[in-house]
Chain A
Amino acid sequence: MKRTALDQMALKVSGLYKSFEGINVLSGVNFTVNRGEVVALLGDNGAGKSTLVQCLAGLTQPDQGKIQVGQIERTLCTPSASYQAGIAVVHQDLALVQGLSVVENLFLNREILHQHSVLRLLGWLDKKAMARKAKKLLQRLGMPLNNINAPLNTLSGGQKQAVAIIRAVYAGAEIIVMDEPTAALGAEQCARLVTLIRLLSSQGIAIILISHNLQQVDTLCDRAVILFQGQSVADVAIDEVSQAQLLGYMNGIELDIAQAS
């Protein structure tokens, strides 16, 4: 699809190393993601995907290596630092608060405060503004919900997923990392998610998709970065490889070919 000019680069990860108790979990991860691109992050269990996601989410710090967002190098020491850098991670368990409503979840930690300066100082919420904004966001992304004040646990899996993604969009994220977004979804909800992802990427948001579903990767993604034993062993355009080849990379079989390219 869109090929890369340097200013189009949304995220650059270079030379990432991380070890836990002497065991190397990441040992040299390099890849870039461009604006509006959907990149699959593939790898077998234990390849280092979750650790990489944790690094991007600000939940753990790499021992070595650089994470560059846009043109700026970032240290992601907390989840909020990660949000501020423009990276939003939609975790597999979604990381939403069950007892709170849809609006409350969307705006948690980024609440809209009252206009009045004194009330603002007290942290007074502007609930009406948040409701308006929430409706607008949901509409813009084609996910109208009847009741935005419904508690989160009354929502379906797909709706929760949408809330988590919209939360990321509202945070102004330029890069959204989705960890196994379709694992818990039915076919229809999956289709809706695909539409949503396409919509986001058309708006210039870079998306990193972690998935086991190669079929889906094939239809949805522009490129795939494959991790094997903590290393990024291949970075391929989806159009140019078969699913069998992708599987080969993930199992380390086609390692030599990848390095040659």
Chain B
Amino acid sequence: MLSKLNRQTFIYYAFTSAMLVFMLSLSGSAFFTTTNLLNILLQTAPIAVMAIGLSFALSVGYIDLSIGAIVALCGMAAALLLPLYGLPVAVVFALSLGVCVGAINGYLCERFALPPLIVTLGTLGVLTGFARQLSDLQSIPIIDTQFIILFSHGRVLGMPSFLLWLAGLVMIAALILTQTRFGRHLFAVGVDASIAHRMGLNVSRVRIIAMSLCGGFCAFSGLLYAARMQSAKYTIGESDLMVAIAAVIIGGCSLLGGKVNIFAVVLGVWLLGSINNALIFSGFSSNEQMMVKGGILIMAVAITSRAQKS
């Protein structure tokens, strides 16, 4: 009862103080320009969608390490299918592929009582290998302008389309979690699976659907990625796993399940994106950026677990 309040205020403090440091160090630089802020939003949109997906896995106390690979594979699937079958088929196929991979992850965990950490690590290997073979290590260009407009550069009432997609997906995820029966079941399973079972819930089913949703959101992230880069490569999403996990933790999700706040998760992604952007401005190399991101992940976990205890 105490932990909820404490932890949330703790994270809030960490968040605002980090922002304050930025304000002080970056004011006057090119950080606070509309172009740059929009750029941060553009770059973080696919990661935010990944993080939303991951939140579903975390809400039942599972984790999905294969999200980056799902992003890559689904982005590539769309890129490959676009010239052959057109936009609707490519999009529907890519999304279904993501849902299927998630469902398989969940099924393997449940059917054979395997830890999701191991199962999804295995899936990560399988999918990455498959994506590499499929593309022959080449990047697949996307020339379908409709696709690019739809998922990235188009504008509706002055709002870039990727931002609208993000907003829509955030709303959908938040509504699923707070307004539907399934959302309640997610929380119950996340808080205590054995109690949820005794209350008559089909725990395995809830978990498999959660993993499928995770896969579906990651597939969508793959579409956003591919549209932004106007090509798909097996490496997209690869380095974002760490950021997604860190964002989800900063957003206050418990790694043990049960607690998820989608808005806070997206805020976490934006915070990390801003830090990354600031690092680039300060002249850090991409290697150094990775090190900082790793450090942030560990700090985020330390802060949340501390706040949980207090």
Contact = CB atoms under 8 A, between A and B. Distances in A.
Given A96-B195, A97-B192, A98-B191, A109 B258 contact: no
A84 B184 CA distance: 20
A97 B187 contact: yes
Given A98-B191, A108-B188, A111-B184, A125 B179 contact: yes
Interface size class of A (residues with CB under 8 A): 20 to 34
A108 B196 CA distance: 9
B180 A123 contact: yes
A78 B199 CA distance: 10
A98 B198 CA distance: 14
Nearest to A171: B200
A80 B205 CA distance: 14
B192 A98 contact: yes
Contacts of A122: 180
A144 to B, nearest CB: 22
B197 interface: yes
Nearest to B198: A95
Given A98-B191, A111-B181, A57 B198 contact: yes
Looking at A78, A95, A100, A104, which has the most chain B CB atoms within 10 Å of its CB? A95
Looking at A57, A91, A123, A154, which has the most chain B CB atoms within 10 Å of its CB? A123
Given A113-B181, A124-B180, A151-B1, A100 B188 contact: yes
A59 B1 contact: no
Contacts of A142: none
Interface in B162-184: 179-182, 184
Interface size class of B (residues with CB under 8 A): 20 to 34
B199 A95 contact: yes
B201 interface: yes
B199 A79 contact: yes
Contacts of A83: 200
A97 B179 CA distance: 18
Contacts of A57: 198
B17 interface: no
B195 A97 contact: yes
Given A100-B187, A104-B184, A109-B185, A79 B197 contact: yes
Interface string B191-220: 110011111111000000000000000000
Interface string A43-86: 00000000000000101000000000000000000111011000
A99 interface: yes
Contact of A109 (B180, B191, B192, B200): B200
Interface in A86-127: 89, 91, 95-100, 104, 108-109, 111, 113, 122-125
Given A113-B181, A125-B180, A154-B1, A59 B198 contact: yes
Contacts of A79: 197-200
A97 B197 contact: no
Contacts of B7: none
Nearest to B188: A97
Contacts of A153: 1
Contacts of B181: 111, 113, 123-125
B202 A97 contact: no
Contacts of B180: 122-125
B200 A99 contact: no
24 contacts: A59-B198, A79-B198, A79-B200, A80-B202, A95-B195, A95-B199, A97-B191, A97-B196, A98-B192, A99-B258, A100-B184, A100-B188, A100-B191, A104-B184, A108-B185, A108-B188, A108-B196, A109-B199, A111-B184, A123-B181, A125-B181, A151-B1, A153-B1, A154-B1
Interface of B: 1, 179-182, 184-185, 187-188, 191-192, 195-202, 258-259
Given A100-B188, A123-B182, 19 more contacts: A59-B198, A78-B202, A79-B199, A80-B201, A91-B198, A95-B195, A95-B198, A96-B199, A97-B196, A98-B191, A99-B191, A108-B185, A108-B199, A109-B185, A109-B199, A109-B201, A111-B184, A113-B181, A125-B181
The 9 A-B pairs with the shortest beta carbon distances in the complex, nearest first, are: A80-B200, A123-B181, A123-B180, A95-B198, A79-B200, A99-B191, A111-B181, A109-B200, A97-B188
